[in-house]
Amino acid sequence: MSDVIDRPLLDQESTAKTRFRIVDCDIHPSLHARSDLNPFLAKRWQEHMKTYGDHLRTPYFGTTPYPRSSPLIARRDAWPPTGGPPGSDLDFMRKQYLDPLDVEFGLLQVLDMFIFSQQNLEFGAAIQRAVNEWQLAHWTSREPRLKAAILVGQDDIAAAVAEIERCAKVGQYVQINVSPRANEPLGRRRYWPIYALAEELGLPLGIHVGGYGGHPPAGGGWPSYYAEEHQSNAHTMAATLTSLVLEGVPEQFPDLKIVFIEGGFGWISSTMWRMDQHFDRFRAEVPHLKRRPSEYVREHFWFTTQPIDEPDEARHLRSLIEWVGVDRLLFSSDYPHWDFDDPRFAFKTPLTDAERTKIFQTNARAVYKL
């Protein structure tokens, strides 16, 4: 996590800018209120949302099971002066982040409404369509620097495929988003129709941490503390990468690009090493894999940088970047959340100009065809 949590995003006395324009692969817009979705919902679902709300596989109603350490997971200085939650005011986002830090493109990652985890599948389908339309109406049509993703609840395959096809005809989305905490591991064949369509459309598959599939977020059961739950995000992403690779998704869909978002990258090397070691011993069990797992990772997967694992010694971070590969990393800030990574201070280890350009700009341009 960045060490600038209490530092203002913009020093009002400074006009310093980044050395080149940034592509930020993780910006979180928020609803000002749930009623913002009403123009995109049938009357039935407006009444349902007002009367019944969410139906999730968690013991709480309409919230996360582990309260965040700051209201709405946000920085204290990210609340708009006009009211509403952090990330809900476009003008304030421009003033606080997009303009002063010279963000050329920002990819929207919507977390509102737990789209990926709604257990009422009809309501979930209505909500995913409403949120996808809301992104265009409230954000990308007003701010061309911002780019939307097609959000789908991966556990209703038919509704997900229909929504992807609908949004693809609109043509204003740059990726398809699913959740790593699904009802089953994402490598399972039940999810393959989503991957096949993503490959056909040439849209990357984005997998942002989060979701509630009804299973404990940690392998040992339900955590006691938010710190444990937050740590388990990396474990979830490692398990998801393993499932996708060993189940044969990149082998089956050789042109599919997969982006892991907000999972950090400190765990990737050891996960690849372990998969390769086990593949060498158990390859007879997975004959559908034609190459070592690490080869698939290095060709089909990208990873956003936030939250950056920051060891005490900069040389260790340098080694980590080299193991993962500079070409695999995409800068992300996680604005406006509490562990936001300011692009001016995001890396403690020195980067060459060429490396910085790749991570902060050109890698994302290539993946998303910006």
- Res. 5: pLDDT tops 60: no
Asked whether the bond before 307 is cis by omega within 30 degrees of 0, the reply is: yes
- Res. 12: pLDDT tops 50: no
- Give residues with Cβ within 8 angstroms of 36, minimum separation 6: 134, 138
- Give residues with Cβ within 8 angstroms of 72, minimum separation 6: 30, 85, 86
**What is the share, in percent, of the chain residues with pLDDT greater than 90?**
75
177 part of a folded domain? yes
Identify the weakest region by mean pLDDT among 59-73, 171-185, 334-348.
59-73
- Res. 2: pLDDT tops 50: no
Assess contact for 255 and 200: CB atoms under 8 A: no
Secondary structure (DSSP) of 113-154: GGGGG-SSHHHHHHHHHHHHHHHIIIIITT-TTEEEEEE--T
- Res. 132: pLDDT tops 90: yes
Q: Compute the radius of gyration of the chain from its Cα atoms.
A: 20
332 part of a folded domain? yes
The pTM is what?
0.93
Identify the weakest region by mean pLDDT among 14-23, 106-115, 166-175, 183-192.
14-23
Domain housing 263: 22-368
Identify the weakest region by mean pLDDT among 39-43, 67-71, 281-285.
67-71
Local confidence band at 222 (pLDDT 50, 70, 90 cut-offs): confident
Local confidence band at 9 (pLDDT 50, 70, 90 cut-offs): low
4 part of a folded domain? no
13 part of a folded domain? no
CATH number of the domain residue 64 falls in: 3.20.20.140
8 part of a folded domain? no
65 part of a folded domain? yes
Assess contact for 258 and 302: CB atoms under 8 A: yes
How many domains, in total, are found in the chain? 1
Identify which has the larger pLDDT, 168 or 2.
Answer: 168
pLDDT tens, position by position, 287-342: 999 999 999 999 999 999 999 988 888 889 999 999 999 999 999 999 999 999 99
Structure tokens at 97: 């982040």
Euclidean distance between CA atoms 224 and 289, whole angstroms? 38
3 part of a folded domain? no
Report pLDDT for 333: 97
307 part of a folded domain? yes
Q: Count the neighbouring beta carbons within 10 Å of the beta carbon of residue 279.
A: 18
Secondary structure (DSSP) of 180-194: SS-SS-TTSGGGHHH
